Amino acid sequence: MPNLTRITLITPSFNQGKYIEQTILSVLKQDYPNLEYIIMDGGSSDETVEIIRKYEKQISYWESKPDKGQSDAINKGLLRATGNVFNWLNSDDILEKGALHEVGKAFAENDILSFNGICRTFNDGNFAETVNTTYTTFSKSPEHTIAKPSMGQPSQFYSIKAVRELGNGVNSSLSHSMDMELWYRFLFRFGTDKVMFTNKTLSSFRLHGESKTVNFHEIFRKDDYALYLSVFNQFNAPDFLKKFVLKFELNKNYKNIWHEGIIKPELLFAYFAVRFATEYYTLGDYDNCRKCLIYARKNGYPVDSNFLSLLAKVMLLPTPVINFARKIKNR
């Protein structure tokens, strides 16, 4: 067997005793020979600790102490990490068979800083049926990747050296979108040249009544849009982009200084402009929709048929005609 890179996998946990044994077994049954598995439990009061103790001889390190939440638990685990590759696996999610061998081989054989696969989503109680598949958006352009993000975090692995350079952890002011914020920081610093993608499924994400994804859409948006506004403010985005995110309540605790050099701000804003143009159009704000599209065209957005169709509507038709056409279409 060729040398496989050392992988540090961290499981942040709190009162997930119903699921954590499946998570632990999905990791241990990988039979990966160079694994550092760390479980950081936030002081669970259910059966979590009892379950962890069943497998503690196979776990590199674990503790059960109060923490400040998921982000804090991940960062505390990273302080102990000795691997070359890092990811976290939440205590209600599952690694697919052979996932770590796929990751280890990719990092051992390629000069990469991030390796990404597909993440399968399933409903609690029905593991066999796939609800959806998600994956980390991958484009040769980091600007495009940032403006149209799609995250498959349990299937997204980083070089730990890169993570150390990016501040040695996730942003603890974010309780929900810390994965996307880390991905953004990575792209601003390193771009996409050393990002690799596989079409293999590396993990399965469980949907259940207590999961963040099911319950906290508004908090995700607060985090996401605070992240966007931070980028817009630092690089002087046009006001119509800032105006869109300021329509919503934001996470006011979030702050970051973005690395310069890799990202071309005007191109990044062009991609955001087209994304927000569609939203403005839906809201009936054709003036800002028009501004977005004109800016995007001037700053490098690659024109396609959808772009031209929307541009033609808002540039050539008066507002009453657009509203009448939309009303007829929606009947």
pLDDT in tens, 145-162: 999 888 889 999 999 999
Which range marks the domain in which residue 262 is found? 216-329
140, part of any domain: yes
CATH of the domain at 60: 3.90.550.10
pTM, entire model: 0.90
In a domain, 149, yes or no: yes
Q: Which of 158, 179, 214 is at the close of a domain?
A: 214
Residue 220: predicted pLDDT: 83
* Amino acid at position 267, single letter: L
- Chain length of the chain: 331
Q: Residue 234: inside a domain, yes or no?
A: yes
171 and 59 inside one domain: yes
Q: Both 245 and 191 in a single domain?
A: no
Q: How many domains does the chain have?
A: 2
Give the Å distances, CA to CA, from 301 to 39, 74, 198, 235: 44, 37, 27, 18
pLDDT of residue 210: 55
The distance between the two most distant Cα atoms of the chain, rounded to a whole number of Å, is 71
**Can you give the pLDDT at residue 214?**
40
What is the spatial distance between Cα 285 and Cα 29, in angstroms, rounded to a whole number? 54
Contact predicate 42/73, CB 8 Å: yes
- The last residue of a domain, from among 184, 214, 244: 214
Paired with 11 in beta bridges are 39
99 and 109 in a single domain? The answer is yes
Query: pLDDT band at 331, cuts 50/70/90?
Result: very low
Q: How confident is the model at residue 206 (pLDDT cuts 50, 70, 90)?
A: confident
Residue 170, domain member (yes or no): yes
pLDDT at 215: 43
Helices (H), the chain: 20-28, 48-54, 70-80, 99-109, 142-147, 160-165, 178-190, 212-215, 217-234, 239-245, 265-283, 286-298, 305-316, 319-329
DSSP track, 166-189: TTSS--TT-SS-HHHHHHHHHHHH
Would you give the DSSP letter of residue 97?
A: T
The answer to whether residue 240 is domain-embedded is yes
Q: Does residue 298 lie within any of the structural domains?
A: yes
Q: Are strands 35-41 and 61-64 parallel, antiparallel or unpaired?
A: parallel
Residue 316's pLDDT band (cuts 50, 70, 90): confident
Residues 120 and 240 in one domain: no
Report helix, strand or coil for 89: coil
Q: 100 and 246 share a domain?
A: no
Tokens matching residue 99: 């996932």
Better-predicted residue by pLDDT, 88 or 217? 88
Average pLDDT over every residue of 61-78: 95
Asked if the structure places residue 147 within a domain, the reply is yes
Say if residues 150 and 234 touch (Cβ distance below 8 Å). Answer: no
> pLDDT, tens digit, for every residue of 73-125?
999 999 999 999 999 999 999 999 999 999 999 999 999 999 999 999 887 76
Question: Could you tell me if 156 and 260 lie in one domain?
Answer: no
Tell me, yes or no, whether 192 and 224 share the same domain.
no
| Residue that finishes a domain, picked among 190, 214, 238 | 214
- 158: number of Cβ within 10 Å: 23
